[in-house]
Every structure is written in C-alpha cells, then in structure tokens.
Amino acid sequence: MIKKLNLFLLSIYGVMVLGQEQIQYLKGIVENESTGFPMESVHILNLNMVEGTTTDKKGNFEIRAHVNDTLYFSYLGYKSLKVAVTQDMLKFENSRFQITQLAYALEEIILRPYQLTGYLDIDVKNVPINSAGRYRIPGLQGAGYEGGDRNPNAIAKTFASIFNPADFLHNLFGKKGVQMQKLKKMRENDELKNLLASKFDREIIIQLLNLNRLDLDEILRNCNYSDTFLKESNDLQILEAVSSCYEEYRVLQL
C-alpha cells in the first residue's frame, strides 16, 4: 500500500515538474531595421496562446511561448512581422527582431464641391447615392438590416439571415470553431483589451482569429451592424461585436 502511495505521489510530482518545464519565456529585442536602434512600445502577441506584451525603452520584451508558436509584431507606421518560435529563440536570450518602416505616398486629392444650380431636377443628380441597401421590417427590433448592396440577391440575403438564423450563423462560424474559442481569452486579457481599444486597423483581430478583412466585415454586416459602425469603431468594439454575434450562434446551436 505504501509503495503504491509513493508511486502515486511520484507520478503527480512528475506531472507537476513536466508542466513547469513546459512554461518557457522568450526574451528578445526589437530594432528599427534601417537604423538598428531599439524600439519602444512595439506590441508583441503570441497568436497561439493569445497573450501579449510591449517593448521597454531599450526595445526589450519577454513573452510566454512554446516552440512553433507564432509571434506577431506590430507598431504604427511599420510593417507587421510574423515569426515562428524556434528552440534556439527559447534557449538563447536577446534574440533580435527587426521591423521595417512603411513608406507613405500622399496621393493628389481633387475636391469636387457640389455645383448647385437652384433647379431641383438638376441638383439631385449631383448627390452621391448610397450603394448599401437597408431594409426595415415592421414588428422586428432594430433600425434596419443591410443587404450590402442593391443587387437582386441583397434583399434575399437579408431575409435569409433573419428567418434562418441557425443556418446563416453556421455558415459564418461553423468552420471557425477553433478561432472563435480565442474570443474568450481575448476578452479576459486586460493588456490585450487596452491595446485593441487604441487601434483601428483590425490587424490584430484578423491575425488572432485567422480571418481576412472581408470575412470580418461580412460577419458584422450580417449580424446587423452598420457600415458606420464598421468604419468608426475601435478594434475592441469590433471584438465585442464579433463575440456577441458568436454568442447568438452558440445559443441557437443548443
């Protein structure tokens, strides 16, 4: 009996030690590729573990990671960088990562003010037409439903999303279960939430959820979010909107 107890305790200890050994931290430095100078406040995210950190004044950072995890480096005005974690990165400290500054080219902007004539029939032709079809259905809550454009299939798409919500949401989320499971981790990470609240480029959400920009916009439009919301909301608000839509899908699946 005592031998069995000792073996049991040793097995538990072995599992605990193994779990501790698996927790590794990657230490590195982020530099400007052109100048070689260290960069402060660069955001580094582990896309697999949904954890993030930022560099200090000397460009240093430390983040929890495993071999083959993907790190995502982002900084305003610089090209984003994705790096796969290797054993050498974890073994040797102060791995160096360089990001490249984007070159912005300002295009010529031509202002075309309305040339009002005073004649209604002529002036109304100069008013731009909103290409997004929006439909309001009496008895249903909400200001309206956007079909996306004015093609013949737009209104059919709108009614499909209302009267067949289970099928509709399944098409959106059914094949993205693994990615959508990261939503909860993202919402529980205060540092990540603070980062998303200051960004409007959607890049972090797209990378973490493994979506493209068109998929993200499609999800939100068909969950009854307006184009104005898509354009003006910060990334944290977009995250909450996607999460809310996914929760509706999960309820319908029960």
CATH homologous superfamily of domain 23-128? Carboxypeptidase-like, regulatory domain (2.60.40.1120)
What is the per-residue pLDDT for 88? 92
| pLDDT tens column, 21-39 | 467 999 999 999 999 999 9
**Strand-pair category, 70-74 with 81-84:** antiparallel
Query: Would you state the torsion angle of the CA atoms of residues 197, 199, 205, 208, taken in this order, to the nearest 10 degrees?
Result: -90
pLDDT along the chain (254 residues), means of 10: 54 50 85 94 93 94 95 92 94 91 61 61 60 46 45 49 50 68 83 86 87 84 85 90 81 64
Listed in order, strand segments (DSSP E) in 107-233 are 134-135, 145-146
What is the per-residue pLDDT for 146? 46
pTM of the model: 0.63
Q: How many Å from the N-terminal Cα to the C-terminal Cα in the chain?
A: 47
What is the per-residue pLDDT for 69? 95
| Residue environment code for 51-68, b if the CB has 16+ CB neighbours within 10 A, otherwise e | bbbebeeebebebebeee
Q: What is the DSSP string of 209-232?
A: HT--HHHHHHHHHHTT--HHHHHH
What is the per-residue pLDDT for 31? 96
**Rg over CA atoms, the chain:** 25
- Which pair of structure tokens corresponds to residue 212? 């493209």
Domain ranges of the chain: 23-128, 164-253
What is the per-residue pLDDT for 117? 66
* Integer Cα distance of 16 and 181 in angstroms: 26
